[in-house]
Amino acid sequence: MIIEKLAIREFNRNDAKDIVKLHSESSENFEEQEITEDFILNIAKRNDFRFFVIAIREKVIGFIGVLFHVNVGRAEIGPICIDSTHRGGGIGTRLLNHAMEFLRQRGIRRAIVRIKSDNIRALGFFKKNGFIEEGYFREYTRRGEDVIQLRRFI
């Protein structure tokens, strides 16, 4: 796969099914294990939330969500997911950088991400991309899982 063939764009309604599929393939990494197309479509209507997708020839292979609060200059990254066959090649970094630039253009100064403490791959990914660990939350999820919060200034 050549990285130049990748296209990052804002989510559209037709992407909801692809996002649900990708999410379900990696559900063990997310707090909400089951999401629906309606859930995706409803959250995408919010003015303070954006989904971006990354595609190869119109086939969605990843997505990222960002919740942002312009009035206080803060954002939360997540979820982020790349199809398992495309991980490790810089696609997630490219998608994250796109989201961070979107936030920077809106005056967001600080972004956080919360990751399950046993998701070593995601922790490594965000640390590699400039995020610094700043908090540990015991039994944070509904299922009692611990979560690590990381932050990055934009």
Q: Does residue 4 carry a pLDDT above 70?
A: no
Three-state DSSP class for 125? helix
16 within 8 A of 64, measured Cβ to Cβ: no
Q: Does residue 125 carry a pLDDT above 70?
A: yes
Joined tokens for residue 86: 């495309």
DSSP state of 72: T
Which one is predicted more confidently, 6 or 110? Answer: 110
pLDDT for residue 137? 98
Walk me through the domains of the chain, giving residue ranges and CATH numbers.
Answer: 3-153 (3.40.630.30)
Ordered strands of the 74-82 beta sheet: 6-10, 49-56, 59-69, 74-82, 110-116, 147-153, 132-137
pLDDT for residue 29? 61
Amino acid in the structure at residue 124: G
Amino acid in the structure at residue 71: N
Three-state DSSP class for 37? helix
Q: 13-58, pLDDT tens digit by residue?
A: 999 999 999 988 775 666 666 789 999 999 999 999 999 999 998 8
Joined tokens for residue 61: 């292979």
pLDDT for residue 48? 98
Q: Does residue 113 carry a pLDDT above 60?
A: yes
> What mean pLDDT value characterizes the chain?
92
pLDDT for residue 33? 60
Q: 55-78, pLDDT tens digit by residue?
A: 998 899 999 999 999 999 999 999
76 within 8 A of 43, measured Cβ to Cβ: no
First to last CA, the chain: 30
